[in-house]
Amino acid sequence: MIPHDGKPILWEEMSWKDVEKLTKTMKMAIIPTAACEQHGPHLPLAVDTIDCYEVAKRVSAKTGVPVVPPLMYGCSQSHGDFPGTLSIRPETMIRMICEIAEWLYRSKIRKILILNGHMWNWGPIYSARENLRFDFPDLQIRVLNWWETTSQTMSKLVEDCPVFPSYIDANIAETACVLAARPDLVDMKEAVDENDYETFFEYRMDQYTKSGVVGRSATKATPELGEKLFRMVVDELVSMIKKALNEEKPNYNRVNTKSKKIGKKGGR
């Protein structure tokens, strides 16, 4: 593990010589994926990016794993006609992730954590993962929503945020985390509480919320709660990553095994 003085290692702040030196010992990188979309009247459009990037930077500071610039544009069509949202198509996001990963691979990175901060990114992220696993068989890759680091952190999130319904946006947890990371961007005077919303089918946000907030208790959010949530997730994720840094790829390879058998037979 490289020395990092307790500070996050941001990919874009390094020179090419720094990267060349770094990747001699560090083979892993984090790609934060998020969104730029409405989060009610009290929060900025960058909520998902702020929260996800904050987690990634804190993890980097504790592990020395570099973080590339976050993908601020995600699949946010589901927010509908609220002003401000910027969205890209799923196929665009798949291409972006695959190409960033390809260039990380060219820089000798062999382990990638795609740390996701926006739930509707799931489809393109998992599709990108499948492409990458086929195109780069020696690349170790993991997709993880930061709020679902482990079942333990998820259960604790539910304890701290009494209801974790199918639809959540700008609720107590998201508000609290932005209060902890970027309080200057939060206007709690504009915060409103909405009813929990759960349905069988999935709908656009502008079809079931007037304010853009989904989930109760946004008005009760505090920076202390946000800090607690960050610490809980980061501690779990750091433990996971320290193990992942030493994880070896499975040895079995059907193609190589078949080739060896053919070669041995041919040599008789």
Instruction: Give tens-digit pLDDT for 106-154.
Output: 999 999 999 999 988 999 999 999 999 999 999 999 999 998 886 766 6
Q: Does residue 252 fall inside a structural domain?
A: no
Categorize the per-residue pLDDT at 31 as very low, low, confident or very high, splitting at 50, 70 and 90: very high
Q: What pLDDT score was predicted for residue 79?
A: 83
Percent of the chain with pLDDT over 90: 66
Q: Does residue 267 fall inside a structural domain?
A: no
Q: What pLDDT score was predicted for residue 255?
A: 56
Categorize the per-residue pLDDT at 4 as very low, low, confident or very high, splitting at 50, 70 and 90: low
Mean pLDDT value of segment 43-54: 97
Q: Is the pLDDT of residue 102 over 90?
A: yes
Mean pLDDT value of segment 59-88: 94
Q: Does residue 266 fall inside a structural domain?
A: no
Q: What pLDDT score was predicted for residue 15?
A: 97
Q: Is the pLDDT of residue 265 over 50?
A: no
Q: Does residue 24 fall inside a structural domain?
A: yes
Q: Is the pLDDT of residue 1 over 50?
A: no
Mean pLDDT of the chain: 87
CATH value at residue 98: 3.40.50.10310
Q: Does residue 38 fall inside a structural domain?
A: yes
Q: State both tokens at 134.
A: 């086929």
Between 196 and 40, where is the model more confident? 40
Range of the domain at 240: 11-245
Q: What pLDDT score was predicted for residue 24?
A: 97
Mean pLDDT value of segment 240-250: 94
Q: Is the pLDDT of residue 228 over 70?
A: yes
Q: Note if the pTM is more than 0.85.
A: yes
Q: Does residue 225 fall inside a structural domain?
A: yes
Q: Does residue 253 fall inside a structural domain?
A: no
Q: What pLDDT score was predicted for residue 217?
A: 83
Mean pLDDT value of segment 205-223: 84
Between 82 and 157, where is the model more confident? 82
Q: Could you tell me which residues come within 8 angstroms of residue 143 by beta carbon, excluding any fewer than 6 positions away?
A: 114, 116, 125, 126, 129
Q: Is the pLDDT of residue 256 over 60?
A: no
Q: Does residue 4 fall inside a structural domain?
A: no
Q: What pLDDT score was predicted for residue 168?
A: 66
Instruction: Give tens-digit pLDDT for 163-180.
Output: 444 446 788 889 999 999
**What's the domain count of the chain?**
1
Amino acid at 235: D
